[in-house]
Chains A and B, each alone.
Chain A
Amino acid sequence: EPEVTQTPSHQVTQMGQEVILRCVPISNHLYFYWYRQILGQKVEFLVSFYNNEISEKSEIFDDQFSVERPDGSNFTLKIRSTKLEDSAMYFCASSVRGPYNEQFFGPGTRLTVL
């Protein structure tokens, strides 16, 4: 069964460093998303991406964040200069059509900023 994959499963970085979180959505999906969950808090929407551009982003998704689909399979989230408060689990998701339909989630990448 097709699934969304994410790498790495755990990323440890120093404050101020750039990190790139990688996702491979399901191959025939057209909409892509990033969410994050700070430990003990809610899963929060970051950004949605369609047709090679951001379709919606939340207040959390500031200039430190960017997303890219560099080729036909990967979908990446870059954090330019990490802060301690960026430590969280980051989930990638994809859907065939718009977000009203089922979103398929990856297992997440745990980011730890020291």
Chain B
Amino acid sequence: GDSVTQMEGPVTLSEEAFLTINCTYTATGYPSLFWYVQYPGEGLQLLLKATKADDKGSNKGFEATYRKETTSFHLEKGSVQVSDSAVYFCALHLNTGNQFYFGTGTSLTVIP
């Protein structure tokens, strides 16, 4: 079935370090792919998305490229900040239904 697998955490990085959070997916059709972020005490917020192969989503210094050949949508940031500390969720959506399929979430802590 359709699903998302993302890198397990928690991840702890020093400020200005490079971040990669891996995400791979399984889908029967052609999904759109998303990264959501949840800051402490808040709801899930859309961070970026890509709707077709080779699209790159970007926002707030984060990037992810939709790779159909590797069925991946890895999240990257060149230089993390303390304020990036949050839980990051990879998700996919098929155009044929209402459901989002989420990964388990990866907790990121950035230390000064």
Q: How far is the CB of A111 from chain B (nearest CB, A)?
A: 16
B77 at the interface (CB under 8 A from A): no
Give B92-108 interface residues, CB cut-off 8 Å to A: 93, 95, 97-105
B22 at interface, CB cutoff 8 A? no
Contact between chains at B42 and A107 (CB < 8 Å): yes
- 9-residue interface stretch from A12-20, A41-49, A65-73: A41-49
Residues of B within 8 A of A33 (CB): 98
**What distance in Å separates the Cβ of B65 from its nearest Cβ neighbour in chain A?**
19
Given the known interface contacts A40-B104, A41-B104, the answer about A100 and B95 at a Cβ–Cβ threshold of 8 Å is yes
B:32-72 near A, CB below 8 Å: 32, 36, 41-46, 49
A38 to B102, CA, bound (A): 13
Q: How far is the CB of A43 from chain B (nearest CB, A)?
A: 4
Residue in A closest to B43 when the chains form the complex, CB atoms = A105
Query: CB-CB < 8 A to A48: which residues of B?
Result: 98-99
In Å, the complex CA distance between A107 and B105 comes to 15
Decide if B89 is an interface residue (CB 8 Å cutoff).
yes
A8 interface residue, CB < 8 Å from B? Answer: no
Q: Give the number of residues in B that approach A within 8 Å (Cβ atoms).
A: 23
Pair A105/B32 contact, Cβ less than 8 Å: no
Beyond A43-B89, A91-B44, is A103–B97 a contact (Cβ under 8 Å)?
no
One of A44, A45, A106 near B43 (C-beta < 8 A): A106
Residues of A within 8 A of B36 (CB): 105
Interchain CB contact under 8 A, A103 and B95: no
CB distance from B38 to the nearest CB of A (A): 8
Q: With CB as the reference atom, state the residue of chain A lying closest to B89.
A: A43
Closest 7 CB pairs of A and B: A43-B102, A105-B44, A105-B43, A48-B98, A56-B98, A45-B99, A107-B43
* B residues neighboring A (CB under 8 Å): 4, 32, 36, 41-46, 49, 89, 91, 93, 95, 97-105
Chain A interface residues toward B at CB < 8 A: 3-4, 6, 31, 33, 35, 37, 40-45, 48, 55-56, 58, 91, 93, 98-100, 102-108
